[in-house]
Amino acid sequence: MPPVVLVTGASGLIGARTLEPLQALGFDVRGVARNPPVNPVCPFIAADLLDAQAMRAVLASVQPTHVLHCAWDVTHGKFWHAPENLDWAAASLLLAKAAAEAGVQRFVGVGTGAEYDWSDDGVQPRRESDPAVPVTLYGQAKNTTRLLQEAYFRTTGTSFAWGRVFDLFGTGEAGSRLVPSAISALRAGQPFACRQGQLLRDYLAVEDVGLALAHLVASPVQGAVNIASGTPISLADLTRHIAAVIGCPDLLTVETHPAQNQPLTIRPDITRLRQEVAAPPPPPLWTRVDAYLASSQPAHRGRD
């Protein structure tokens, strides 16, 4: 019998991208989320992740050996300081307790690069052993969840890992995020301003985030693991590439407005991801960006 993995938030931006990689790694995959996916690739259960009783019923029904917990409210422009972060932290802790009581052997949570202390402007790459000093409610909720789950699972013998995801992009992300908003404006022939072009960020296509998390689930590695490319680029270079591919570099303005409460550079160390988890390296960033641009290209209808 193959191991059974339950993926929470299975219809979300990240969760949906973990399903097929998990299947390829030999798992019997089951998905759970409040809203069903458009094109399900595995058996799916509709349930409210904030309902502890419903989640216990799901665990009893599925009887998973592994849990990959992707579910969280990350509504763009709101989630950094949203009070709902407390609800999701509480629900995640109750899920961890219920999972251990149901006999789950391995539990993997999804965290964020915002858990780290970036007060030095990101001079050095962040390793998983570096201090976690989040400055947003989202980062604090994630880090507190990690600490409590890690301490709890230590008492139960459940294997526990935590994938810290950094910046990502891909089909299905909120249209107000940097990459889709740049694409939308430039394709419409409208000017677009990259206001903090000096910032260096580690962008990873959401497909590669999903693949890395799947490998983390399949591995025996415990503790925090950075999920990233390890190669940050400037927002200026990213948006310039997008404008060049679309064919309207003249419509792009790159500015260097001060970014309050944001480090100049976010650079994660991915040694654990590559050497211990053995997740395969992603394709070149520009390959993924170009594929995203091609997939989001409006279809030509021709003459009606």
* Per-residue confidence in pLDDT tens, the chain, 304 aa: 899 999 999 999 999 999 999 999 999 999 999 988 878 899 999 999 999 999 999 999 999 999 999 999 999 889 999 999 999 999 999 999 999 999 999 999 999 999 999 999 999 999 999 999 999 999 999 999 999 999 999 999 999 999 999 999 999 999 999 999 999 999 999 999 999 999 999 999 999 999 999 999 999 999 999 999 999 999 999 999 999 999 999 999 999 998 888 999 999 999 999 999 999 999 999 999 999 999 886 543 332 2
Residues 267 and 264: their CA atoms lie apart, in Å, by 10
Burial class (CB in 10 A: 0-12, 13-18, 19+), 245: middle
The whole-model pTM stands at: 0.96
Nearest Cα neighbor of 164 from 218, 204, 197 is 204
- What topology does CATH give the domain 4-169+204-229+267-282? Rossmann fold (3.40.50)
Q: How many CB atoms lie within 10 A of CB 234?
A: 18
In the chain, where the domains are located: 4-169+204-229+267-282, 178-198+232-265+288-295
Other Cβ atoms less than 10 A from the Cβ of 291: the count is 15
How many C-beta atoms lie closer than 10 Å to residue 171's C-beta? 15
